[in-house]
Structure 1
Amino acid sequence: MKEYEVYSDLRVPVNSKIIIRLDGRSFHSFAQKMGLAKPYDECFYNVMVEVCKDLFEEFSPIFIYTFSDEISILLENIPFNGRIEKINSVVASFTSSSFALNYDREFPKPVAFDSRIIPVNDCDIYDYFKWRQDEAWRNCVNGYGIHFLKSKYSSSEANEKINGLNLSDIHELLFQNGINLNDVETWKKRGIGIYRKNKEVVGFNKKESKEQVSYRSYIHVDYNLSIFSKEFFNKLF
């Protein structure tokens, strides 16, 4: 019956890097049922960071980027011999279970993440993450915009008023009402990055009887990402 397994041997291109993008399933209704704070619930984002750290420990990626209920994982060492069916199923289930373990609350129903694989060349990596960071900014502007309008109008009226407004219109509306998005925390505007950095460790070399400096890598959570540039990603490789 092995031959009945659809796409079981479909693999990513040899010697390629991949991005795995995960999205929370029906997290809009999840947020409503959980009563998450608007426009940003810091407890939720703390959990997402812990999930990303778990993913980093498990799959050793180059870089992880998260905003909203989305996680993008840049991998060079591809697990499971590149089998797409295996990667998608294991990473999605690992993410869902990590989220449930790190979230210290009861859920209205089981949570799930979906997973998709994007093979990339080195020259595509900046374009991909810049695209997602631009989406994080749109999320931020729209999130603050609809939150403000709902404080003044009913949900249906607020949705009607925000429809058709572009980002600069919403930005100006907020500014005219005392909300300056330039003052909002960077992670809300640009997302959160997780990657390895080196730290200096000073030890004592008994053989040479002197202090010795070495460097150890650690998982760094970057809440103050710059606007992505090609140089940023070149430094990660």
Structure 2
Amino acid sequence: MIISVFSSADAHRNALNSHCYWTLRKNGYTVGQATSKLEKLSISAKNELLYQQAGLNFNDLPNWQKRGVGLYWEIYQKEGVNPLTGETVLVTRKRLFVDMELPMKDEYSDFVRKLILTEHTEL
């Protein structure tokens, strides 16, 4: 199993950069020009760029566009039937969960720690 952990700050920075990059590209900048322009800008300047060139307030975007989306296994209980006895039993299952509202800052670290420890009880 490969675990890749990024901080919520990484996701936010990457999202801001991506929105700025594609705004510049849509406005006629080449790959090199857009990349070069973004290397020199502060976070506040990138927010201003989005507002000036696309009328977009980055803070008004849905959280999943700013922080990313979490995909992880969720363990749940389900009622089932024992095929040998016909008896109703409670079983544990896993399903993929799509989390569109990831926590931020320290809560994000706690969230990731809990996911890892749930999957790797030997830690």
Q: What TM-score, normalized by structure 1, do the two folds share?
A: 0.37
Instruction: Give the AA of the match of 1:191.
Output: G
Structure 2 residue runs of 5 or longer lacking an equivalent are 118-123
Q: Structure 1: any 5+ residue segments left out of the alignment?
A: 1-58, 65-71, 73-127
Aligned counterparts of 1:160 and 1:230: Cα–Cα separation in 2? 32
Deviation sequence 1:19-48 (CA, Å, 0-9, x none)? xxxxxxxxxxxxxxxxxxxxxxxxxxxxxx
Q: How do 1:41-190 residues align onto structure 2 when only pairs under 5 Å count?
A: 59=1, 64=3, 72=4, 129-130=6-7, 133-155=8-30, 157-176=33-52, 177-181=54-58, 182-184=60-62, 186=64, 188-190=65-67
- Alpha-carbon distance, 1:222 to partner: 3.5
CA, structure 1 residues 147+208, in 2 after alignment: closer, same or farther (shift >3 Å)?
closer
Q: Percent identity?
A: 29
Deviation at 1:224, TM superposition (A): 3.7
The one-letter amino acid of 2:14's match is N
Q: Distance in 1 between matches of 2:35 and 2:42?
A: 13
Structure 1 residue 145 displacement after superposition: 0.8
Report how far residue 162 of structure 1 moved: 3.0
Q: Secondary structure at the match of 2:6?
A: helix
TM-score, length of structure 2 as denominator length? 0.61
Corresponding residue for residue 112 of structure 2: 233
Conservation of the 8 A alpha-carbon contact between 2:102 and 2:108: no
Q: Deviations over 1:126-177 (max 9, x none)?
A: xx632xx422222211111121123224325544543421122211321343
Show structure 1 runs of 4+ deviating over 4 A.
204-209
Which residue pairs with 1:215 in the alignment? 92
RMSD, matched Cα = 3.2
| CA offsets 1:36-87 (integer angstroms, 9 cap, x no match) | xxxxxxxxxxxxxxxxxxxxxxx3x6xx4xxxxxxx2xxxxxxxxxxxxxxx
Q: Does 1:194 align with 2:71?
A: yes
What secondary structure sits across from 1:162 in the alignment? helix
**Aligned mates of 1:218, 1:232 — CA distance in 2:** 18
